[in-house]
Structure formats: structure tokens, C-alpha cells
A and B are shown apart, each in its own frame.
Chain A
Amino acid sequence: MARREFQGGVAGMAFSEEQIEGWLQRVLIPVEPSPQFVNRLRGRLVHVRGERGANLWTLVVVGVGLMLIVAAWMGLALRLILALIGVIGVYSHRRAERLPSRAAR
């Protein structure tokens, strides 16, 4: 038998699981993505990896740069504090020298 339609008129017809399998084999066929999509996605994945690498290096450079700036500022601040302490020291030394001479007079 070549064709047995199962429209309304032939209700109650039984089908075997092999027939269902045969239909599924013909219907669920492999589909291919377009070559453009495959190439584009490949490029994008490589780009993502490259970007990730670049981001890591950017972080390292920014981190090292920040450390250098902080160190430079700390050096300057330390020098200013030392200079201030020196000025205060000189001033108090002179004041201390002046006080005994007044007392002698």
C-alpha cells in the first residue's frame, strides 16, 4: 500500500512506532548555520578574549601608575613635614638662645 491518508474519513487507523520514527527522521533533519554567522562569531570570540587580555593589562598599568603617584605624593608630603619640623626647630632654638641672654641682663 503506497499511501494511506488519515483524514477525517479514515478514523481509527492504527500507526506503528516505526512509521512515526520514519516521519521523524524525515522531518527532524540537521540544519546548518550560515557560514557568515560561523565566521563572525569566531571573530567575536577571539575579540572577546583579546579584550579580556587588554583589560587585564589596563588594570595592571593603572594600578602601577596609581602606586607611583601615591609614592611621589607621599615623598613630597614627607619632605614638607620634615621642612616644617626643621623650621620649627630653628625657630625654637633661636628663642631658647634669646631667653637666657635676657635673664642675664
Chain B
Amino acid sequence: MTDVPDLDLVRRAATEPEAFGLLYERHVRRIYNYIYYRTGDHHDAEDLTARVFQRALRHVGAFQDMGVPFSAWLYRIAHNLVANWHRDRSRRPVVPLEDHTVLTPGSQHPESLAMAREVGEDLLELVRRLPEERQQLLILKFAERLSNAEIGQIMGRTEGAIKSLYHRTLSSLREEVERMQAEGRGAGLEDREG
């Protein structure tokens, strides 16, 4: 049953709890991951993930195969709920780095770990200053490891548009890093080649 395509499960999910359970098992981690980076808090991520799947359960019978994967449908529900959450809170997301382990080759050493955390803190600060769609793109690309085509399906854009948006995002991030450097901030961000 584990190799059954999502769309077959979706057709059965409206009447078979086991089919919806399998869809849930397949996607819950990715949806949680996405929401965590958009909200910056584990509790909020859990609460919103629960709401995503409750909404999906209510509307799974109405899901129509329009060439968009089920995961993209879930991401859109998650995106809408996160947008509402930000609107309700009227504040920018804050990612608490104390719960966030940045994996680097030398992360076992306390000094390397502290340094990696500093890098992460500075970069995440820059990322969360980006417009919402750029944040979404970076999270889907790096935290979710999705391809441009998959991101395009989720964000309702072409692969080319995503590629272009990605380069503009990288470029603006680079400018921000250089600006921080010029202002003497961003002490943790370093080039650590080799």
C-alpha cells in the first residue's frame, strides 16, 4: 500500500480513513517543516500543521486532479493558513535558533557549533526580511529540497519564473550581506571555504 500513488489514495481518502492516514504519513513532516520556517515556532508549527490536515480531511473529497500534485494542494492550504496567522499576529516570523541545529562539517566542536549558529542567526534574519514569496521559495528549495518545477506547481508559476525569482532573491540576499558587512554588522557571517 506504501507504493500506491497519491492520487489513488486521494480518491479513496474521502471514504477510507486508512487511505487518508497514508497520505498524512507521507506529507506531515514536509508540511510541518515548511510551516516551522514560516512561523519560527514549534508550537505554532504543530498547531498550524494540525489545521492543514483537518482542512484537507474536510475537503479531500472535493480535490480534483488538475495536473497539480496532492502535495502542492497541501502546501497551498499551509501557505494560506500561515498568511492568516501572520495577519492575525501582525508580526514578522522569528526563528528561534536555540532549537535549531545548523549542520556543518565541524558542528561537533562547541566553538564550531557556536560559529555556525551565529552564521545561521544572521542569515535567517536576512531571509525573514525578504518578501513573503521569496521566503516561501527559499524554504521550499532548501528546507524542503524541492525542484524548481515542483516549487512552480506549489506557487502557481512556471519553472522559468521560479528560476528567475530565485536568482533575484539570491542577488538581493547578497546585496544585503554586503550592506551588513559595510555597516559592520553580521559578525557571524563568514566565508568559510576549505
Contacts and interface: CB of A to CB of B under 8 A. Distances in A.
A38 B143 contact: no
Contacts of A23: 119, 123, 189
A32 B53 CA distance: 16
Nearest to B121: A27
Contacts of B180: 6
A41 interface: yes
Given A4-B191, A24-B138, A46-B21, A15 B53 contact: no
B84 interface: no
A23 B176 CA distance: 14
A8 B186 CA distance: 9
Contacts of B75: none
Contacts of B189: 6, 23
A33 B192 contact: no
Interface stretch (B23-31, B66-74, B149-157): B23-31
A25 B186 CA distance: 18
A26 B36 contact: no
Interface in B23-55: 24-25, 28-29, 32-33, 36-37, 45-46, 49-50, 53-54
A26 B190 contact: no
B191 A31 contact: no
A9 B184 CA distance: 7
Contacts of B123: 23-24, 27
B-side interface size class: 35 or more
Contacts of A66: none
B178 to A, nearest CB: 6
Nearest to B13: A49
A97 interface: no
A27 to B, nearest CB: 4
B147 interface: no
A26 B186 contact: no
Interface string B145-189: 100000000000000000000010011011001101111101101
A25 B142 contact: yes
Given A15-B174, A46-B17, A30 B33 contact: yes
Given A29-B101, A41-B49, A45-B53, 9 more contacts: A1-B191, A2-B192, A6-B189, A13-B181, A31-B32, A32-B29, A41-B28, A49-B57, A50-B17
The list of the 6 closest CB pairs from A to B, nearest first, reads A8-B184, A28-B142, A6-B181, A33-B32, A4-B191, A27-B120
5 contacts: A1-B194, A13-B181, A26-B104, A28-B37, A31-B143
